[in-house]
Amino acid sequence: MIFEQLNDGNCRTYLIASPDTHEAALVDPLLGREDHYLGVLRDRGLSLRMVLDTHVHADHLSACALLRDRTRAEHVVHEQSRVAEGSLRVEEGRRIKVGAIPMDVLHTPGHTSDSMSLRLPDRLLTGDFLFLGEGGAGRTDLPGGDPGMHWDALQKLQPLEDALLVFPGHDYRGNTHSTLGEERKRNPRLQPRSRGAYVAWLQGLQLPAADWMKAVVMANLACTRNNKGIEIPLGGAVCEVGAGCSGVPQMTCEALMSAQEPLVLLDVRNPDEFIGPLGHIEGARLIPLPELPRRLGELEAFRDQPIITICKAGGRSNQAATILQEAGFADARSLAGGMGRWNQLELPAAKG
Ligand SMILES: [Fe+2]
């Protein structure tokens, strides 16, 4: 299988092609880049059979309609998509093929109602259904979004194997891909929560206004071929909601180092990280994040004291502080930047 990511920025466009039949598909191509994509296909001797939108995008314009004009490739969308065009509408469980390469459709709504993920034999293209690590997943507060539907869709991942590679529609931290097993450990959206708690968490977030996104959605629904007059702000992780948006009270490393009050330090990393190269803060107790909900009893004595949650970079510790808050702990704060920042500042860490 030929598999390449064709963009430089935060939006990901994947080329999937068969070396045997020279048939190719493009997933989530960007308007304005179509000459580049067609040049790549020409250089590789590939013919474009399919262009796919994993969902109606709110942060960039899709090139699918224009690429279909220029190549007669099928424009594949989920059957619930409200795009004006789209020549092949697919449903849950549908298998589409690029040469002999199978791509199975998984309906994974929540970011939008028409979001789909594509399962290839060894990998899952998740669109905005799931990002990498602390990136979490796409926001669920845009038109058509629904946090409860997102929780339901996440349950579809349960039977899938840890080794499955995950390729998202965006990444704002320069990561290319990961595995489902890694996401199960690191992604705040995949930490254990009831459906009710998950919905309450996402609905409680104060996300930046995104009025400009409505204009982008409208243009994509109309299958525009013209990117003039659509303002798309540069930079910023506009699509994602990970742990960093949760409004969790923070404590800086400097403030922790000079704190006079007695603090309970709760490290929520995995045991191998606790004794790994970044070390841990002297006196910290370890409860890995996935175990926290069922081990809250161990913290009962500290219910009214300040508890500082700690992880590697601040993602999991935000989740942990949220879990503590929801369980009624009076003062849970997350260590901003985690042990990564603590070590950057060369503050004392116990190693081994
Ligand atoms: Fe999106």
H or E segment and range at residue 215: helix 211-221
Q: Assess if residue 192 is contained within a domain.
A: yes
Q: How far, in Å, is the centroid of ligand 1 from the Cα of 61?
A: 10
CATH value at residue 285: 3.40.250.10
Cα 62 to ligand 1 centre (Å) = 11
Compute, in angstroms, the gap from residue 265 CA to the centroid of ligand 1: 37
CB distance 119 to 127 below 8 Å:
no
- Is residue 73 one of the residues assigned to a domain? yes
Ligand 1 center–CA 30 separation, angstroms: 12
Q: What is the pLDDT of residue 325?
A: 84
51 CA to centre of ligand 1 in angstroms: 16
Do 19 and 163 lie in one domain? The reply is yes
| Within-domain flag for 274 | yes
Ligand 1 centroid to 59 CA: how many Å?
6
Is 212 in the same domain as 257? no
Q: Do 110 and 176 reside in the same domain of the chain?
A: yes
In the reported structure, the alpha carbon of residue 54 is separated from the centroid of ligand 1 by a whole-number distance in angstroms of 8
Instruction: Clarify whether residues 304 and 193 are in a common domain.
Output: no
Is residue 11 located within the same domain as residue 157? yes
Distance 240 CA to ligand 1 centre (A): 8
59 within domain boundaries = yes
Model pTM?
0.71
CATH number of domain containing 101: 3.60.15.10
φ, ψ at 149 (rounded to 5°): -65, -35
Q: How far is the CA of 31 from the centre of ligand 1 (A)?
A: 15
Tens digits of pLDDT across the chain (352 residues): 999 999 998 899 999 999 999 999 999 999 999 999 999 999 999 999 999 999 999 989 999 999 999 998 999 999 999 999 999 999 999 999 999 999 999 999 999 999 999 999 999 999 999 999 888 999 998 888 999 999 999 999 999 999 999 999 998 778 999 999 999 988 889 988 889 988 888 887 656 666 778 888 999 999 999 888 777 765 555 667 765 445 577 788 888 998 888 899 999 999 999 999 999 999 999 999 989 989 999 999 999 999 999 998 877 888 888 889 888 898 899 888 889 889 989 999 998 7
Looking at the fold, whether 88 and 212 belong to one and the same domain comes out as yes
- Within a domain: 226: no
- Which domain range does residue 179 map to? 2-221
Residue-wise DSSP of 245-291: TS---EE-HHHHHT--S--EEEE-S-HHHHTSTT-B-TT-EE--GGG
Do both 193 and 329 map to the same domain? no
**How much distance in Å is there from the Cα of 334 to the middle of ligand 1?**
28
CA-CA distances (angstroms) from residue 301 to 309, 311, 317? 16, 22, 20
**How many Å lie between the centroid of ligand 1 and the Cα of residue 53?**
10
Q: What is the pLDDT of residue 66?
A: 96
Last residue of a domain, one of 200, 221, 242: 221
In a domain, 65, yes or no: yes
CB atoms within 10 A of CB 204: 10
Residues 147, 214 within the same domain: yes
8 Å CB contact between 336 and 253: yes
Number of domains in the chain: 2
Name residues whose C-beta falls within 8 Å of residue 328's C-beta, 6 or more positions apart in sequence: 303
Q: How many Å lie between the centroid of ligand 1 and the Cα of residue 242?
A: 14
Instruction: Based on the fold, state whether residues 106 and 8 are members of the same structural domain.
Output: yes
From ligand 1's centre to the CA of 92, what distance in Å?
A: 19
Measure 20 CA to ligand 1 centroid, in angstroms. Answer: 32
In a domain, 14, yes or no: yes
Token code pair at residue 350: 């116990």
One domain for residues 216 and 254: no
298 alpha carbon – ligand 1 mean position (Å): 40
Q: Are residues 112 and 256 in the same domain?
A: no
Residue 214 lies in a domain: yes
**What distances in angstroms separate CA 39 from CA 32, 35, 42, 260, one per listed residue?**
13, 6, 5, 63
State whether 281 and 213 are in the same domain.
no
